[in-house]
Structure 1
Amino acid sequence: MLGRYALPRYLTGATAARTGDEVSGPALLLVGLAATGSVATASGLLAALTISAAIGGPVLGALLDRSRRPGRLLAAALAAYAAGLGVLLAGVGRLPTILTLAVALLAGLLTAAISGGWTAQLPGVVPGDRFARANALDALTFGLAGLAGPALAGLLGSTLGARAALLAAIVLVAAALPVAATLPRPDTVPPPRSLPREVRAGFAAIARSRPLLAGTATSVVSFAGVGMLVVCCPLLGTQRFGDAGRGTLLLAVLAATAMTANALLARRPGLIRPDTALPASTLLLGAGMLTAALTTEPAYAIVAVVIAGAGDGPQLTALFAIRHREAPPRLRAQIFTTGASMKISGFALGSALAGPLATQSLTACLLVAAGVELLAALTFLACRGRPVRRPSLARAA
């Protein structure tokens, strides 16, 4: 795969998989609402799909780090994730809720493959002199996916029904399989060790590096607030625009702003230091949620997600830059998937909390989400100020 078109091919596959993942969340919410009529059940399905990533991410990352063909393993994980979404497509509203929740939990074990597992392969695709720009472009695929995903979910949900939106998610994830399977082999593979020891090494590397710890902790807390915002968006659509499907389009506006911000960073990748951009962008996310909570007009709902998007894009770019800079090479995939899985689990906890809270008061839920973003920024400052030792491969072993 290495060659002139390596990066475009990588970005195409990443965009397809991540767009499918971005469709799956809003689509599953819409399927749950349509099939059960319960906000709590719908948010519970989304939480189940995401919370189990805390278990699956570290294990998947360790397997990728020790694999001679990580692309094929990544493709297998994507195929299994698509199959899990297929079972949910057929089962929600037809099978007992406990069974669909169990399927969502199993599928969620593999969600880190789409984010951290894929990004960890980037150093094998792009040489070092072009890496900063490639990192910004990789983060931009999340913005593009976040733009197209909710928009597609909302459009299909409003016109063809919620199940059509979930079917689109399956097709997009499956479309990325050929690219994943042909990702380049690593130059070297570390000697095999026991899987529990590998997993412990990844967590130890994060815990002993102050920047990795600060970035990981901040993103986990921040994404809990984002999970609350995602659950609120269909209700914002109903309250401000008269249609829950239109509410998911607010997520597309957020993603468009995030993508625009990342496009600017791709043109000038050294414009802002990642250790400065991460807490600043987190505060901007919170400002958007606060704006949504304190206003009632439809236009201000759009302004609110634009503000949030201006923080969301640079936050992800800064987080990736910190991880690429600080991660030991032989633990890179595990650190990315562990960080991604913890972040996804934070999203799950936030969305689970938002279901019953938003049912009682949408404004209160958005205010809590804004407070969570403030807490995330303070978490970054607290972790950066803590004297943590630099990671050592010998110690991490």
Structure 2
Amino acid sequence: MRELLGIRAMPAYFLAATLARVGDEMVAFTLVLLVLERTDSAALAGITGAAYALPAVITGPLLGAWLDRTAYRRTALGVNQAVLGAVMLSLLFITGHGPAWTTPALAAVAGVTLPMVSGGFTSMLPTLVPGRLLAEANRWEAASFGAATITGPAAAATIAAAVSVDAAVLVITVTATLSIFAIARLPALPAAVTADDREPFLTSVVGGLKHLARTPPLRASTISSTMLMGAVGILLITLPLHMTTLGAPRSAAGYLWTALQLGSVTTAVLLGRLQARWRPEHIVMVTVAAYGLAMTTWPLASSFVVLVVLAAATGLIEGPMFPAMLAARQQYSPVALQGRVSTTAASLRVGAAALGQAAGGLLVPVIGTHAALLAVALTLVAAAAVGRLSAFTTHQEPAQVTSP
């Protein structure tokens, strides 16, 4: 870690990326709480969460192609955070007071540049970090995501319970603003694709999608991790509603996310070197399947405390998945495709989570939270199986990422 932080840009990178991700992780949970509190509509909560995430399905590939061509990544990252802050403030005045459609419409505005938070930052790593340190960088990149997913829901739950949901919205705005100052300290990076090598823009966009679809191990990793996010979307709606069956307030669901991610970050950091010993797509599929099997115990929890313990144990199992997913994108993609691959894959994950939230908002009130938790667990097992089936084709060796 010392050698990694010795690279001048990396402290600013991790600070900027983590601040942006903390705000993003607060958004998903806070939107659900805000809509449930003001409208008591699980369907509207699911639609609003989906509206926040769904635009990324379209914009992810477009942003990725643009990122590979531009030297203005810092500006794009800063604009994304400014838009998020403005939208969250607007939601305070609109949700529950204006027409129902205005809440998901505003959420959709913030979601347009959402892939920048994950893929936009991550795509910078192969340029910022020498190839020999990429595995180490991936471990700490996973820790950055994990720290955000630990801090975000817990902060939202605590602030909502101790003060109000409105206060949680204001904290998101402050976090977004602070991240802009950190982003300003990042170095300007050259375009990954030079003017002489550029394809037509739409051809470039399609190129990223084709690479994901035609590279078997990358395809397997992407399918499994994308289906996982669909299950997570259902879980975002299920957990706040499930709290009442355990005698806890809806906001307590944030602590379950924290327990899950504490376990995940622990093994992501301690076992991140697994990707140097085994193929990363295999690690992704095995951990997703194990994650699902562990989650089959959740509906059996008789109290909130027991469910917290089960969530932490499940997180320990899931931890190696994220650094392995990043490694798959880097090992099986050339440098010129890193932006497109990162943001396109991120957009697919975000889009799957959006569909999961929309489905959860409609189905959970009908089938009940216990059945919904079991459905999430089985979806994760299926995700690993589908990913494995998608990998059955001609073997392809990793495309090594060149050092900057």
The reply to whether TM is greater than 0.5 is: yes
**Structure-2 change in CA distance of 1:124 and 1:201 (3 Å):** same
Distance 1:199 1:281 in 2: 30
Give the one of 275, 284, 291 matched to 2:281.
Answer: 275
Quote the offset at 1:331 in angstroms.
Answer: 1.6
- Does 2:53 match 1:46? no
Give the one of 374, 386, 394 matched to 1:379.
Answer: 386
| Alignment-mate amino acid for residue 349 of structure 2 | K
8 A Cα contact 2:65 2:339, kept in partner? yes
Partner of 1:185: 189
The alignment's TM-score, normalised by the length of structure 2, stands at 0.91
**Structure-2 change in CA distance of 1:338 and 1:188 (3 Å):** closer
**Structure-2 change in CA distance of 1:170 and 1:221 (3 Å):** same
SS in 2 for 1:285: helix
Quote the offset at 1:329 in angstroms.
Answer: 1.3
8 A Cα contact 2:192 2:335, kept in partner? no
Quote the offset at 1:212 in angstroms.
Answer: 1.5
8 A Cα contact 2:237 2:360, kept in partner? yes
Partner of 2:269: 263
Q: Which runs of 4+ in 1 moved over 6 A?
A: 388-392
Which segments of 5 or more consecutive residues in structure 1 lack a partner in the other structure? 393-397
**Structure-2 change in CA distance of 1:330 and 1:55 (3 Å):** same
Quote the offset at 1:310 in angstroms.
Answer: 2.1
Give the one of 24, 40, 59 matched to 1:56.
Answer: 59
Distance 2:391 2:21 in 1: 30
Distance 1:57 1:165 in 2: 27
Q: Which moved more, 1:296-305 or 1:142-151?
A: 296-305
Partner of 1:104: 107
Distance 1:178 1:269 in 2: 34
Distance 1:340 1:260 in 2: 23
Quote the offset at 1:54 in angstroms.
Answer: 0.1
**Structure-2 change in CA distance of 1:338 and 1:197 (3 Å):** same
Distance 2:244 2:187 in 1: 43
SS in 2 for 1:176: helix
Superposed, which structure 2 residues align to 1:17-96 within 5 Å?
17-96=20-99
Superposed, which structure 2 residues align to 1:1-397 within 5 Å?
4-181=7-184, 182-186=186-190, 188-191=192-195, 192-266=198-272, 270=276, 272-360=278-366, 361-387=368-394
Q: Which moved more, 1:351-360 or 1:105-114?
A: 351-360
Q: Which moved more, 1:324-333 or 1:148-157?
A: 324-333
**Structure-2 change in CA distance of 1:348 and 1:95 (3 Å):** same
- Matched residues, percent identical? 31
8 A Cα contact 1:283 1:311, kept in partner? no
| Alignment-mate amino acid for residue 375 of structure 2 | V
Quote the offset at 1:100 in angstroms.
Answer: 1.6
- The alignment yields a C-alpha RMSD, in angstroms, of 2.1
Distance 2:32 2:306 in 1: 24
Deviations, residues 14-33 of structure 1 (Å, cap 9, x unaligned): 11000010111111111001
Deviations, residues 170-220 of structure 1 (Å, cap 9, x unaligned): 221222223334344137533244322221111111111111211111111
SS in 2 for 1:114: helix
Distance 1:391 1:254 in 2: 31
Which segments of 5 or more consecutive residues in structure 2 lack a partner in the other structure? 400-404
8 A Cα contact 2:263 2:315, kept in partner? yes
Quote the offset at 1:281 in angstroms.
Answer: 1.1
The count of residues paired between Structure 1 and Structure 2 equals 391
Quote the offset at 1:241 in angstroms.
Answer: 3.8
Distance 2:216 2:236 in 1: 30
Partner of 1:395: none
Distance 2:321 2:143 in 1: 11
Deviations, residues 63-101 of structure 1 (Å, cap 9, x unaligned): 111002322222222322332233223321122111221
| Alignment-mate amino acid for residue 115 of structure 1 | S
Distance 1:391 1:134 in 2: 18
